[in-house]
Amino acid sequence: MLLQRFLIRLLTMAITLFGVAVVVFIVIRVAPGDPIAMMLPPGATDADIARLRALYGLDKTIVQQFFIWLSGVVRGDFGTSISLRQDVLGLVFNRLPATLELASVALVMAVAIGGTMAILGARERGTAVEAGIDIASGAALSIPDFLWGLVLILLFGVLVPVFDISGRVSPQLDLPFATQFYLFESIVRLRFDLTRDLLAHMLMPAIALALPLAAIISQLLKQSLKEVLDLDYVVLARVKGFSETQVILREALKNAALPTLTLVGVQFTFLIGGTVIVERLFSYEGLGNMAIDAVINRDLPLIQGIVLVFALLFVLINLAVDMMYALLNPRLRHG
């Protein structure tokens, strides 16, 4: 039964990814812009163009191209980047850790800020504190992440320059890392000087990405908490002598978190989408930044690879959310 559900899930994921691959493959080939034209100097002969086109397999039909590409993907070969002339998979995996670290830090910040605001707002419901939280989250939500990025650059990069506004790590530093997960490795290797430098670079883009999500969590979780706080078992907990904070943390939070969790999963995928522009804004060397370069250069194999990796990420996040939902909800677990 469980195995069957798991297999169905796996199949759905595969179909989703295939669909994404088809759509991206077609769209970037139908859209105007020619990667070959961008590679050759002006005045190249038609013969040169045709030769290069054949070299990258772009002379075949879209259907033929797709299946050539797909058979490569199945074998783990995502092709060669046209603009960087390197293996796509290698390029993507080289950049992915930076984006994952940024998105994770942003998610942790969003949950921490949003969760705290929600708990505070629910505890102080009906007071000026709750109104203040509502106003703040309204403002955080109505400003998109890239605009927050600009605001932060102006505030803490230009007016009061306390944080680094560009890159992932200070270039003069010696990096002893074996993988691209710099932040994780710096902590494991107890090189907290590097951790600090990495965080100083990461803080502003992470806040920019986190603020809208924090606002959503704050509003939704606060609403759920307020509903749960009127329920009988919460009243019973108050009669037992527990304080409002204890009641919220011990009785209400877990049940109120369920509806929020689903939405946070969806919103987290938006957050990862947001890394594309925000990474560009802060010249952060992640996958999103590379995606923009790939689009500008019409680097078809690279775009396909990046999009597919993003799609895989989204599918995995949804899977994780479903699993956490079942873990938190005993009725689902036994049902």
d(CA 119, CA 251): 12
- Pick 32 or 335: Cβ nearer another protein: 335
- Residue numbers 109-148 binding another protein by CB under 8 A: 126
The token pair at 134 is 């509502």
Handedness of CA 140, 143, 145, 151 (dihedral sign): negative
- Pick 93 or 325: Cβ nearer another protein: 325
- Pick 192 or 233: Cβ nearer another protein: 233
- Pick 15 or 236: Cβ nearer another protein: 236
Which residue in the set 66, 181, 242, 270 belongs to the binding site for another protein (CB under 8 A)?
242
Beta-bridged to residue 87, according to DSSP, are 80
Q: Are 152 and 161 in contact (CB under 8 A)?
A: no
* Of 108, 137, 144, the residue nearest 120 (C-alpha): 137
- Pick 86 or 245: Cβ nearer another protein: 245
Does 68 contact another protein by CB under 8 A?
Answer: no
Which residue in the set 173, 231, 266, 326 belongs to the binding site for another protein (CB under 8 A)?
231
Q: Are 300 and 62 in contact (CB under 8 A)?
A: no
Count of residues for the chain?
A: 335
Does 189 contact another protein by CB under 8 A?
Answer: no
CB of 327 to another protein, least distance (A): 11
Long-range contacts for 22-26 (Cβ within 8 Å, ≥24 apart)? 22/66, 24/303, 24/304, 24/307, 24/308, 25/62, 25/65, 25/66, 25/69, 25/304, 26/62, 26/66
Which residue in the set 9, 87, 238, 270 belongs to the binding site for another protein (CB under 8 A)?
238
Does 323 contact another protein by CB under 8 A?
Answer: no
Which segment (88-96, 156-164, 248-256, 303-311) binds another protein by CB under 8 A? Answer: 248-256
Which residue in the set 236, 266, 296, 323 belongs to the binding site for another protein (CB under 8 A)?
236
Does 250 contact another protein by CB under 8 A?
Answer: yes
Does 76 contact another protein by CB under 8 A?
Answer: no
DSSP count for the chain of H helices, then E strands: 15, 0
What is the binding site for another protein (CB under 8 A)?
A: 126, 231-233, 235-243, 246, 250-251, 254-255, 328-331, 334
